[in-house]
Amino acid sequence: MQTRIQQLSQLQPDKRILNYTFSQQAVIGRGSYGIVYVGMKIDTNQVVAIKVVPLQYDQQSLRKEIEIMKDLDCPNIVKLLDVVQTPNNCYIVSELCTGGDLREYMKRYGCLTEQQALPILTQILKGILQSFKRGIIHRDLKPANILITSENIFKIADFGFAKRFQHLEGDLMNSLAGTPLYMSPQVLLRKQYTSKCDVWSIGLIYYELIEGRTPWNVMDILDLINKQRNTNIKFSKKISPMSQQFILGCLQYEEQKRLGWEQVFTHPLFDNKFLMKEQDQKSQHSISQITNESDSSMMNAKLVAVNSPPQIKHPLQIYNKQKPSQKELLSKVESPKQEIRQLFNHSKTVMLPETQKKDRTISIGNQPQSTRNSGNKIFTENQKGFFRKKSEDDEQSNNKKIIQNQLEYLQLLKNIRNQLLDYQQVTIQQTNVYKLQFIILKNIMMITTQLKSCLIDGNVNKFELKNFEIFKQRDTFKNIEKQILELHFDGFNNFQECQLLLNENYTLIMNDLQFMDIFNNNFEYSVQFCNFAKHLSLSFIKEYLYQILLGYENHKIQLFTFLLCNYAKFVGEYSQNVEQFLHTSRTYLSRDDCINYIEKILFN
């Protein structure tokens, strides 16, 4: 890696930004928002890393990343050196780690022993500890984001997904951040999660350092989710029981059962490396002020943290701008046991038993004698039960129909996107094809996010389903749940690939301000999105497909043009009537009728 960086640094510079130069051929990687180059500081000849981020991409996230990096100064975190802004781009200049990243390191050296892996993990945790003291969690820990210097110092890089917190394990998050293979189950499933998402990543990295692979061999994200939940982690004989216990604690599927950060830093595996001698207890915060865990975690914490040696303070302390008074501090530390109770004092969630359902049918044999003898009354009660059951069945059939319509709509969108791939090589329309793919994939993510939120997470009954809880208990729902998750995660993978492709060809899209307004990860419908989706779809038809359709009798092009035209009409009307859209899309039209239909939409 050092040889390659040396070669890249010697390339003739073709770009100069104030006191820095670099060659646009000297690419060494890609961060969360931009491309990273090997560069040079002119006045000192210092070789540096320069990440180029287009300003139109996401300025809020960019500012957040820069502010976070400015706040971090630690030997085990990549150091920010400078930030330069031009009208089009932001250039983030940081120290260059010439030893490559941990992913390349593992490929080069293969499986490590515990004695080799532990110092690496310790350095990573030192970087995490320092970021915690500044109230920052990373949220994208993975081997590719651990860089190595020529002196074999391991440093955490790329804080593009990082987030500030007030309470280390109390703050809830729900945004999708990170790399799927190293994401915790809660992040993958878009459920609320805490900073323990990074505990999961630490467990995976340590396992991979020793075993040379991740615990699960998976085909796709759905397979990953399934194996995270249902497959036991297997260890080779070279991993000690203590390391196994640590890894299993980090990789607990349920967050409340997973190791907390205090348990990580005080684990016997690290032999008190993270515990520091107390110098000024009055000016520093106890861990009890920033940590908030469930009672189930408290039981495990007692084994590790209660008997801390005297004159030793907890490693986790955050430098808050507003510090509590000494009185507030002392009131929270009366005894070790009381401190632990306060440390993990979390509101308990009480699960109420499900209300027993009354039998809606009436059995004649179980009725009192007087009831059995009154035939008219029996008939009336049975009739009521029959109509109640029929009404429930009708509701559930309607629920199923609503969801099936959404799933069929998703399949049609996938069909449009797949057919767009055939037009990627058409030079004159290449940019529009890329944009259209982004539009369709974003639309898929909008629908699957709604479906997942409604049907799986149970947040909002967006589709106004009747007696929804009864519907979820039916066998058919498991099938529907599987389909939704498959479409959601497959769509997210394709969406990310398309977004990366457009970022790599940023100059092709940067002047389209309407597109730049929707070029983001916001999966909620907006007027801007619908208007642009209609405009772009019809432009592509008018400028390209329509001419081909008139000149050639090609059934495939005819169907594709008809479907895309119908989509443009549907999305442009902000319509929620998916059933009507599906009905129109299924309608068979002769060639002449199809052209007339398309012309009516294009030119009226």
pLDDT in tens, 172-182: 554 545 567 88
What is the structure's pLDDT at 342?
Answer: 36
Better pLDDT: 243 or 355: 243
What three-state secondary structure class fits 148? Answer: strand
The Cβ-side half-sphere exposure at 294, using a 13 Å CA radius, reads 14
Amino acid (1-letter code) at residue 78: V
Amino acid (1-letter code) at residue 442: K
Rounded CA-CA distance 552/558 in Å is 9
What is the structure's pLDDT at 391?
Answer: 56
140 has catalytic annotation: yes
Tokens representing 162 are 């990082």
Sign of CA dihedral 502, 506, 511, 514: positive
What three-state secondary structure class fits 223? Answer: helix
What is the structure's pLDDT at 84?
Answer: 94
Rounded CA-CA distance 36/93 in Å is 9
Lowest mean pLDDT among 139-153, 318-332, 495-509: 318-332
Pinpoint the alpha helices (H) of 96-195: 102-109, 114-133, 185-188
pLDDT class for 116, splitting at 50, 70, 90? very high
Tokens representing 502 are 């457009």
Pinpoint the alpha helices (H) of 317-429: 326-331, 336-343, 369-373, 375-420
Give per-residue pLDDT as tens, 356-394: 333 333 333 344 444 444 455 544 555 555 444 555 566
Rounded CA-CA distance 112/556 in Å is 55
Asked if residue 64 belongs to a known ligand binding site, the reply is no
What three-state secondary structure class fits 554? Answer: coil
What is the structure's pLDDT at 197?
Answer: 92
Rounded CA-CA distance 411/428 in Å is 28
Rounded CA-CA distance 316/319 in Å is 10
State the DSSP H helix or E strand holding residue 247, giving kind and residue range, or none if neither.
helix 241-250
Give per-residue pLDDT as tens, 210-241: 999 999 887 767 778 888 888 899 999 999 99
Describe the chain by its helix, strand, coil percentages, rounded to 5: 55, 10, 35
What is the structure's pLDDT at 87?
Answer: 87
Whether 245 contacts 176, CB under 8 Å: no
pLDDT over 70 percentage in the chain: 73
Q: What are the CB-based long-range contacts (under 8 Å, 24+) for 445-449?
A: 445/488, 445/491, 445/492, 445/495, 445/523, 446/523, 446/524, 446/525, 447/406, 447/409, 447/410, 447/413, 448/410, 448/484, 448/487, 448/488, 448/491, 449/190, 449/488, 449/523
Closest CA to 561 of 404, 474, 445, 436: 436
Better pLDDT: 75 or 507: 75
Tokens representing 601 are 């939409």
What is the structure's pLDDT at 461?
Answer: 65
Q: Which residues contact 499 (CB under 8 A, 6 or more apart)?
A: 438, 519, 521
pLDDT class for 32, splitting at 50, 70, 90? low
Rounded CA-CA distance 310/237 in Å is 37
What is the structure's pLDDT at 315?
Answer: 54
What is the structure's pLDDT at 143?
Answer: 93
What value does the mean pLDDT of the chain take? 77
Rounded CA-CA distance 288/265 in Å is 15
Sign of CA dihedral 39, 41, 46, 50: negative
Lowest mean pLDDT among 121-130, 188-197, 199-208, 382-391: 382-391
Lowest mean pLDDT among 57-61, 115-119, 540-544, 554-558: 57-61
Most confident of 50-54, 79-83, 360-364: 79-83
What is the structure's pLDDT at 204?
Answer: 96
Whether 256 contacts 172, CB under 8 Å: no
pLDDT class for 316, splitting at 50, 70, 90? low
Parallel/antiparallel/unpaired status of strands 136-137 and 46-54: unpaired
What three-state secondary structure class fits 228? Answer: helix
Amino acid (1-letter code) at residue 283: S
Give per-residue pLDDT as tens, 404-459: 888 999 999 999 998 888 887 665 678 889 999 999 999 999 999 888 877 777 65
Closest CA to 104 of 52, 145, 159: 145
Give per-residue pLDDT as tens, 155-175: 999 888 888 876 665 555 545
Closest CA to 159 of 144, 172, 141: 141
pLDDT class for 1, splitting at 50, 70, 90? low
Better pLDDT: 278 or 558: 558
Rounded CA-CA distance 257/300 in Å is 9
State the DSSP H helix or E strand holding residue 20, giving kind and residue range, or none if neither.
strand 20-30
State the greatest distance between any 2 C-alpha atoms of the chain, in Å, as a whole number.
106
Most confident of 75-79, 173-177, 503-507, 557-561: 75-79
Whether 571 contacts 530, CB under 8 Å: yes
Q: Which residues contact 192 (CB under 8 A, 6 or more apart)?
A: 172, 173, 174, 186
- Please give the C-alpha separations between residue 367 and each of 144, 380, 383, in angstroms, as whole numbers: 71, 14, 16
What is the structure's pLDDT at 62?
Answer: 82
- Please give the C-alpha separations between residue 546 and each of 9, 296, 416, in angstroms, as whole numbers: 50, 64, 16
Query: What domains does the chain contain, in order, with CATH numbers?
Result: 2-95 (3.30.200.20), 102-272 (1.10.510.10), 393-603 (no CATH)
Rounded CA-CA distance 101/78 in Å is 12
Mean pLDDT (whole number) for 26-31: 80
Lowest mean pLDDT among 35-44, 56-65, 343-352, 590-599: 343-352
Catalytic residue among 14, 73, 101, 140: 140
